[in-house]
Structure 1
Amino acid sequence: MTDTMLAGRLDLRGGGFAVEEIPVPAPGPGQVRIKVEAAGICLSDVHLIDGSLKPVRPAADKITLGHETAGVIDALGPDVPGPWAVGQRVLLQAGERCGTCPACVRFEPCRNVLTRGVDYDGGWAEYALATHHTLVAIPDDLPFAQAAVIPDAVSTPWAAVTATGQVRPGRPAGVWGVGGLGAHAVQLLRLAGAAPVIAVDPLPAARERALEFGADLALDAAAPDIRDRIRAATDGLGLDLALDMAGVPAVREQAVRCLAHTGRLVLVGLGPAPLTVTDSIGFSYREQRILGHYGSQPGHVAELVTLARLHRLDLSRSISGTLPLAEAAAGVERLAKKDGNPIRLILTP
């Protein structure tokens, strides 16, 4: 093995992204080094590069991007427990506990979670470091590309559906925005038993994809009768659960109007605009709720790996293409422009 490697690096101080040659990292206490086999390109990476998203607690002025990573354990640092060994196939959790906040000290869920590829070096590299408790073993028949996207692309909507949204079998659910997260939300709602599953998107290609991923009905967000059509599809009740994957105020207003009595809107897509409810009296009368959501917990990733291992979850359609690590910038541009309507593009070092 050489002493240097390629890595996709973001300059947080001066701006700019480039694939550079940097030293291969050595694992410290409790760490393993991963030979990266696949790393996903997420819309968050696009926003980090264009400057619209900023790391909160970056560890350095330059960061290797990539929070969706899978590969093979290449080396063990001191004090890594026995279950982990060189040669094991793993994916990496998208983040980890800070270890110092009051919640961490009390062994409660961390309130200052550090994100891989945002606050510290991620997986857009030939080799990546990971603390051993962020590893999740993956089965031999799960391709690395599919395993890599489970953290975030799949686990974020899974957590939104099952934990925040508290999906109920046989109850209607809707998804606004059928991009990378939304397509998986449709698939996961169907897996969890929501019925009917209704997708809403202004793009014909996205609506087509929603039907392929298991939606019972796909509607144009611009349709003037969208509320009536959703009511008709739900026996006049409206949606028990709605997921906003777009983070757009107009989407949220539309989704709230389509909720049933005691229905819930989960905000998965992030956006800076104020959150408003036009008919606040009706919202209260119908006892509806709007719930914020961010990311997922480690257990959600483990659940999805189990579902994939038992062939309950098929992620083969999630991979829209692969590119060499050296062409990371081209992949980012392709995702930003929605060239080919990708769900996830994968970098292969």
Structure 2
Amino acid sequence: MAEMLAGRLHVAERALRMESVPVPEPGPGQVRIKVAAAGVCLSDVHLIDGTLTPLHLPGDVVTLGHEVAGVVDALGDGVTGWEPGQPVLLQAGERDRRGTLLTRGVDYDGGWAEYALAREDTLVLVPAGMPFEHACIIPDAVSTPWAAVTDTARTRPGEAVGVWGVGGLGAHAVQLLRLIGAAPIVAVDPLPAARDRAVTLGADLALDPKDGGFRDALLEVTAARGLDVAFDFAGVTPAREQAMTVLGAQGRLVLAGIANEAVTIPSDTRFNYGRQAVLGHYGSEAEHVDQLVTLAALGRFDLTTSISDVLPLADAPEAVRRVHDKQGNPIRLILRP
């Protein structure tokens, strides 16, 4: 039986191991993909360090990687509409018959491997000319902030917005908010390089959250009305607490980062009087990925600067270390088998 290299998480030990495993055979309704590119996400790091735990994984070992693109390699019984050689990206998850959301590379094997299996309805055709490195990060790094901006927050043109955390999700949020006409866009990050990047990507103002003049600067750029929408992509309690203090009337705080901590409203009087809201957000739906593929193909946004580096699949542990340590302040590192 043919074998392949895969990055496997042993959940009980919280150990990532590069292992040789059998090349999977597609079952009925499945397609095998020859992986060309797979993203390394902070959530992958959190799965390894124990901050996150798979909820629906049958067993104790899983191949990581929920951002995957490649070429159709083999078809299972009953698959129609796909042919070997077609370039595709994979949705970051799927729903089972009961409607439970299962995440690729978390609840079932993902794409940190030479080959990956996918249910046929989770494939999306990659347009001609789109690099696999760009295509693979659309499901999650781009689609998560897109869904947060357009669906959860219902952001409207001209609304004042704040983005806390200009990393893998926040950097794309800045671009997408500019695309839909939000204004002004205020980026908040403690790292100077991240703030510079935010301005380059389209933010109107970039602030250090620890700056003593933070509140005054934000109120000045919003004409004293505060934020209509604040997005927490940092996933840390201080970001949420600070965002709450600068929300305007009917302002919405969207929690897109996962802190696994309590959410506190400091004053119910101000919160209720201002008719404010705290909204949870997770992931995206298939329609969001389809929308983004169309927009990217038409040149509405460019992911070139999102690819911080490309590493061989065998160097997955090094990529995880670099994301964990924020070495080089990466937006996305890509693994290439």
Same-fold call, TM > 0.5? yes
Question: Which residue type is aligned with residue 7 of structure 1?
Answer: A
1:96 and 1:58 map into 2 onto residues whose CA distance is 13
Measured after TM superposition, the shift of residue 59 of structure 1 is 2.6
Counterpart among 138, 143, 150 of residue 155 in structure 1: 143
- 1:14-59, CA deviations, whole angstroms, 9 ceiling, x for partnerless residues? 3311111110001000000000000000001111111221100103
1:13 and 1:273 map into 2 onto residues whose CA distance is 23
Do 1:266 and 1:292's aligned partners in 2 also have CA atoms closer than 8 Å?
Answer: yes
Measured after TM superposition, the shift of residue 308 of structure 1 is 0.6
Counterpart among 306, 315, 319 of residue 318 in structure 1: 306
- 1:295-348, CA deviations, whole angstroms, 9 ceiling, x for partnerless residues? 111110110000011111211111000000011100100110011110000000
1:332 and 1:250 map into 2 onto residues whose CA distance is 25
1:158 and 1:60 map into 2 onto residues whose CA distance is 33
- 1:250-300, CA deviations, whole angstroms, 9 ceiling, x for partnerless residues? 211211111111111100011122111112201110111110101111110
Question: Which residue type is aligned with residue 69 of structure 1?
Answer: V
1:148-297 matched pairs, under 5 angstroms = 148-297=136-285
- State the superposition RMSD in angstroms: 1.0
SS state of the match for residue 187, structure 2? Answer: strand
1:144 and 1:94 map into 2 onto residues whose CA distance is 15
2:251 and 2:270 map into 1 onto residues whose CA distance is 12
Counterpart among 107, 112, 133 of residue 124 in structure 1: 112
Question: Which residue type is aligned with residue 56 of structure 1?
Answer: L
Counterpart among 306, 309, 333 of residue 321 in structure 2: 333
Question: Which residue type is aligned with residue 189 of structure 1?
Answer: L
SS state of the match for residue 116, structure 2? Answer: strand
Structure 2: gaps (5+ residues): none
1:59 and 1:184 map into 2 onto residues whose CA distance is 33
TM-score (norm 1): 0.95
The percentage of aligned residue pairs carrying the same residue is: 61
SS state of the match for residue 277, structure 1? Answer: coil
1:150 and 1:42 map into 2 onto residues whose CA distance is 12
1:98 and 1:179 map into 2 onto residues whose CA distance is 31
1:240 and 1:52 map into 2 onto residues whose CA distance is 31
Query: In the alignment, which residue of structure 2 is the partner of 1:97?
Result: 95
Counterpart among 279, 286, 303 of residue 291 in structure 2: 303
Query: In the alignment, which residue of structure 2 is the partner of 1:104?
Result: none
- 1:176-234, CA deviations, whole angstroms, 9 ceiling, x for partnerless residues? 11111111111110011101111011111110111111101001100123222111101
Measured after TM superposition, the shift of residue 13 of structure 1 is 3.0
Structure 1: gaps (5+ residues): 102-109
SS state of the match for residue 149, structure 1? Answer: helix
Change (3 A) 1:220 1:6: same
Do 1:264 and 1:291's aligned partners in 2 also have CA atoms closer than 8 Å?
Answer: yes
Question: Which residue type is aligned with residue 20 of structure 1?
Answer: E
1:340 and 1:309 map into 2 onto residues whose CA distance is 28
2:153 and 2:121 map into 1 onto residues whose CA distance is 27
1:250 and 1:15 map into 2 onto residues whose CA distance is 27
1:123 and 1:231 map into 2 onto residues whose CA distance is 44
Matched, 1:44 2:43: yes
Do 1:60 and 1:120's aligned partners in 2 also have CA atoms closer than 8 Å?
Answer: no
SS state of the match for residue 150, structure 2? Answer: helix
Question: Which residue type is aligned with residue 74 of structure 2?
Answer: A
Do 2:71 and 2:86's aligned partners in 1 also have CA atoms closer than 8 Å?
Answer: yes
- 1:76-105, CA deviations, whole angstroms, 9 ceiling, x for partnerless residues? 010112x21111100000000011x2xxxx
Matched, 1:134 2:134: no
Deviates more, 1:68-77 or 1:51-60: 51-60
2:9 and 2:235 map into 1 onto residues whose CA distance is 25
Do 2:14 and 2:47's aligned partners in 1 also have CA atoms closer than 8 Å?
Answer: no
Aligned residues: 337
1:249 and 1:53 map into 2 onto residues whose CA distance is 17
1:38 and 1:281 map into 2 onto residues whose CA distance is 50
